[in-house]
Amino acid sequence: MSVNHQTPGAHPPRQQAKRLRLIGIVVLVLGLLSAGAVYWVRTHTGEPTEDELLAGNARAEAHQMGVLYGKMGLLTQELSDDLKQPGTQALIIATVSILIAAGCFYFARLEDDDNEVR
């Protein structure tokens, strides 16, 4: 089989590395834009949060949670509350998109290095 007769669906190695880089760029841009959008929308809504409405209730609730479920229950509740914050959500979205994009760039580089060896 000659070089010109490749199987259908097979992509030349250079094109595959280029495609991985493009996917990485798209994931990175969309991830950072969506993280910014989540943060902006969640912080600019006009309605007050539950914490703002029940500010005096927080200490009693934390004490009750500690009595009923112990320190692990209290830590779990605090983690759950932190995950509901718009800054934390935006940070998670941005971090995941950066990691996925970095993986795409890494595999594209491996593909280029592998082609140079051949």
Residue 56 has pLDDT above 80, yes or no: no
Q: Decide: 108 and 38 in contact? Cβ < 8 Å.
A: no
CA-based nearest residue to 91, from 26, 27, 30, 38: 38
Percent of the chain residues topping a pLDDT of 70: 81
Mean pLDDT of 25-39: 96
Q: What angle do CA 47, 97, 78 make, to 5 degrees?
A: 45
State residue 1's pLDDT score: 47
Q: 68-112 pLDDT, tens per residue? A: 888 888 888 888 888 989 999 999 999 999 999 999 999 999 988
- How far, in Å, CA of 104 to CA of 102, rounded? 5
State residue 117's pLDDT score: 67
The reported pTM is: 0.72
